[in-house]
Structure 1
Amino acid sequence: MDNATYSYPSDCTPLTSCKAARKPAGSTVVNMGHSGKAPNDYLVWSLCNTLYVNFCCLGFLALIYSVKARDQKTLGDLRAAQECSDKAKWYNILASGWNLLIPLLVVVLLVLLLVHLGSTEGTFDFFGEDGYQSFMKLFSR
């Protein structure tokens, strides 16, 4: 068969049906990604708070939401990733605040105790010459 003798309609291509496959599909939309910035997941901060083992496991809760935020960001659901990121941030703030508050309270209470014991008369004097001896007399009775 010669190419010159074989004729087919000009609007058809091989392996497709004529005219049915040639209908215009309308418009095509291509998403090139989100124009906004991807939310943070605060994973390192959450790990630090988790390893510190703080009150009510707030660091562990922050770690859970950080991993969820990272998973949602990977899946492309930026709204859910932002919600989990916000929760992780607030749990991290609470955990960090608690991690700083408790040692500061202990130091303040210790200083107040030492100042009170040093200023009272009639009790053993930690800051005087005989502080250790008078302290040990309490246990030698």
Structure 2
Amino acid sequence: MLKEEQEVAALGAPHNPTPLTSTAIHIHSKTSVLDHVVWSLFNTFFMNSCCLGFIVFAYSMKFRDRKMVDNLIGAQAYASTTKCLNIWVLILGIIMTILLIIIPILILQVYQ
């Protein structure tokens, strides 16, 4: 046996009259959920194809409501839906813009 083990064995159990207590520390980590409101506003004003920009903006407002009441699971669900819809609205808006440029050029070339 080591010297420290012999000393602990000789001393026995501690004779402390106070009961043992434990302390629990709860650390609340604020999960950062991205806010897509600015992107939704851009899509609403400039890329509002088939009025999807308004729908995306409504989802981003629902996200903010959930975030304000500390419903992080609901906020994350609305954030992912908003991100997906923003991507689709942006792609559709770019395609429609390109088509609005290309189609008149093609029509002008056909009639010349």
| TM-score (norm. length: structure 1) | 0.55
Report the alpha carbon displacement of residue 27 of structure 1 after superposing the two structures with TM: 5.5
Q: How many pairs were matched up?
A: 93
User: Partners in 2 of 1:104 and 1:116 — Cα distance?
Assistant: 18
User: Partners in 1 of 2:85 and 2:56 — Cα distance?
Assistant: 5
SS at match of 1:96: helix
Over aligned residue pairs, what C-alpha RMSD do you find? 2.4
User: Partners in 1 of 2:47 and 2:90 — Cα distance?
Assistant: 11
Give the one of 68, 86, 92 matched to 2:62. Answer: 68
Report the alpha carbon displacement of residue 43 of structure 1 after superposing the two structures with TM: 0.4
Relative CO higher for 1 or 2, CA cutoff 8 Å, sep ≥ 6?
Answer: 2
Which consecutive residues of structure 1, in runs of 5 or more, have no partner in the other structure?
Answer: 1-23, 119-141
**1:1-80 correspondence runs (5 A):** 29-34=24-29, 37-52=31-46, 54-80=48-74
User: Partners in 2 of 1:97 and 1:86 — Cα distance?
Assistant: 17
Larger radius of gyration: 1
Percent of matched pairs sharing the same residue:
33
Alignment deviations for residues 87-128 of structure 1 (CA, whole Å, 9 cap, x no partner): 11112112212221112102111121222223xxxxxxxxxx
Which consecutive residues of structure 2, in runs of 5 or more, have no partner in the other structure?
Answer: 1-18
SS at match of 1:33: coil
Q: Match for 1:88: what amino acid?
A: T
More helix by share: 2
